[in-house]
């Protein structure tokens, strides 16, 4: 083989969905004709974040035996065995698309820029950072590779680690999943949406850490509960329509419509959880306190600020950059009291993964 040893480092950000991915389909084939995993039942769109990132280095050392796939994993300098199964599964899923990996022993070193058990999922940023590094090796083996192929395949591989991770490769706004009104959309990887109005440039996301504990129900289990869910089909149709609507909203800079659509999507996501069988609730009392405070503040001040939620109790507060000072003051005065240990993270729209 041409490359005996190599080392790469990438940082990849988290992302926050505006139209949510919730539910998978299990009867689709990938472009090699194998049964595909992690295919979304509906398309989604997200803001790529800027500050919540995973930084990951991979060292590849050629080995003589290609029988077993082998790697070591270090998190913040410590050897970590409990993260290994997820990474093992990622490598098992991507092996058929990256047969060269078997020739190497891989050492992975990873860290996050956000507090470890903050309830912020590191799977999107973590899997995206891993996928970028794998693609750097592939590029070293095949220097002719185009940038377009590099990023598409990186997103494809990241998806196999964690579905929403495929939206963390690029910025600032990414669509993933087949959408009736987006001709180049795909279930296999994310594509960037570049037509956002100036009003959505530098959009802010302040993440209020309401509950930093381990989630009671993982997103894998939650997605699976959408099979046989009584409202699943209507939800998938709604997501298609909401994506059509939000693309227009982002193009036109219609912040009021953005607020309505985004908040409705967040509550619909949690409504799906509450109407699954078994049912579950990931919001906490403080999640609702914060939502009500945001509504009151918006009514009283007419400042365009809204919330969204992912699969947990934390609240993402979204607002344009030009009201940042006022909103941060409101957060400090009225919302921090509902955060665990008063913790929150200031983030904003970002550009996707970077090689270091
Ligand atoms: O990527 P997963 O399997 O962890 O699912 C993420 C699901 C949501 O965060 C709730 C929604 C989304 O589109 O990111």
**Residue 115 pLDDT grade (very low, low, confident, very high; cuts 50, 70, 90):** confident
Q: Is 15 in the pocket of ligand 1 (CB under 6 A)?
A: no
Q: Is 21 in the pocket of ligand 1 (CB under 6 A)?
A: yes
CA of 343 to the centre of ligand 1 (A): 23
Give this prediction's pTM: 0.96
- Min mean pLDDT across 114-123, 197-206, 282-291, 327-336 is at 114-123
DSSP 8-class letter at 280: -
CA of 163 to the centre of ligand 1 (A): 7
Query: Looking at the chain, which residues constitute the CATH 3.30.230.10 domain(s)?
Result: 5-195
Instruction: State the closest ligand 1 atom to the C-alpha of 121, by its place in the atom list counted from 1.
Output: 4
DSSP 8-class letter at 36: P
Report the distance separating Cα 277 and Cα 255, nearest Å.
Answer: 36
Q: Is 160 in the pocket of ligand 1 (CB under 6 A)?
A: no
- The residue whose CA has the least distance to atom 6 of ligand 1 is 164
**Residue 172 pLDDT grade (very low, low, confident, very high; cuts 50, 70, 90):** very high
For domain 202-348, give its CATH number from 3.40.50.300, 3.10.100.10, 3.30.70.890, 3.40.50.2000: 3.30.70.890
- Min mean pLDDT across 72-86, 162-176, 248-262 is at 72-86
pLDDT score of 65: 77
Query: Looking at the chain, which residues constitute the CATH 3.30.70.890 domain(s)?
Result: 202-348
pLDDT tens sequence across 69-82: 789 999 999 998 88
Q: Is 162 in the pocket of ligand 1 (CB under 6 A)?
A: yes
Q: What would the two tokens of residue 226 be? A: 């959408």
* CA-based nearest residue to 119, from 346, 354, 345, 355: 345
State which of 224, 310, 314 you would mutate to test the pocket of ligand 1, scoring each by most atoms of that ligand within 8 A of its C-beta.
Answer: 310
- The residue whose CA has the least distance to atom 4 of ligand 1 is 219
State which of 163, 190, 309, 314 you would mutate to test the pocket of ligand 1, scoring each by most atoms of that ligand within 8 A of its C-beta.
Answer: 163
Asked whether the beta carbons of 128 and 160 are under 8 A apart, the reply is: no
Q: Is 219 in the pocket of ligand 1 (CB under 6 A)?
A: yes
Report the distance separating Cα 260 and Cα 320, nearest Å.
Answer: 15
Q: What are the phi and psi torsion angles at 305 (to 5°)?
A: -125, 140
| ipTM at complex level | 0.99
CA of 123 to the centre of ligand 1 (A): 10
Mean pLDDT, rounded, for 112-120:
75
CATH architecture of 5-195: 2-Layer Sandwich (3.30)
Is pLDDT at 28 greater than 90 in this prediction?
A: no
């Amino acid at each position: 083989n041409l490359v005996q040893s190599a080392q790469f480092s990438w940082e990849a950000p988290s992302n926050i969905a505006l139209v949510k991915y919730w539910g998978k389909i299990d009867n689709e084939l990938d472009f090699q004709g194998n049964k595909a995993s992690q295919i979304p039942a509906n398309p989604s769109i997200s803001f790529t974040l800027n500050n919540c990132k995973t930084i990951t280095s991979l060292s590849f050392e050629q080995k003589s035996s290609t029988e077993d796939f082998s790697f070591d994993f270090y998190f913040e300098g410590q050897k970590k065995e409990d993260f290994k199964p997820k990474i093992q599964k990622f490598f098992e899923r991507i092996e058929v698309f990256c047969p060269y990996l078997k020739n190497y022993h891989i050492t992975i070193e990873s860290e996050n820029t956000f507090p470890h058990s903050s309830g912020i999922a590191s799977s999107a940023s973590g899997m995206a950072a891993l996928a970028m590094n794998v693609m750097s090796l592939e590029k070293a083996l095949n220097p002719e590779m185009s940038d377009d192929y590099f990023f598409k395949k990186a997103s494809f591989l990241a998806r196999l680690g964690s579905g929403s991770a495929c939206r963390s490769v690029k910025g600032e706004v990414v669509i993933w999943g087949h959408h009736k009104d987006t001709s180049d959309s795909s279930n296999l990887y994310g594509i960037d949406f570049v037509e956002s109005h100036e009003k959505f440039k530098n959009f802010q996301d302040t993440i209020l850490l309401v509950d930093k504990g381990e989630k009671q129900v993982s997103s894998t289990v939650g997605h699976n509960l959408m099979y046989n869910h009584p409202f699943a089909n209507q939800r998938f149709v709604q997501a298609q329509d909401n994506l059509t609507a939000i693309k227009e909203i982002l193009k036109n800079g219609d912040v009021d419509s953005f607020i309505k659509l985004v908040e409705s999507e967040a509550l619909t996501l949690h409504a799906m959880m509450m109407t699954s069988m078994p049912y579950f609730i990931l919001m906490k009392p403080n999640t609702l306190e914060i939502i009500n405070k945001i509504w009151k503040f918006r009514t009283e001040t007419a400042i365009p600020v809204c919330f969204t939620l992912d699969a947990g109790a934390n609240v993402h507060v979204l607002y344009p950059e030009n009201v940042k000072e006022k909103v941060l003051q409101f957060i400090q005065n009225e919302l921090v009291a509902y955060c665990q240990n008063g913790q929150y993270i200031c983030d904003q729209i970002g550009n996707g993964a970077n090689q270091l």
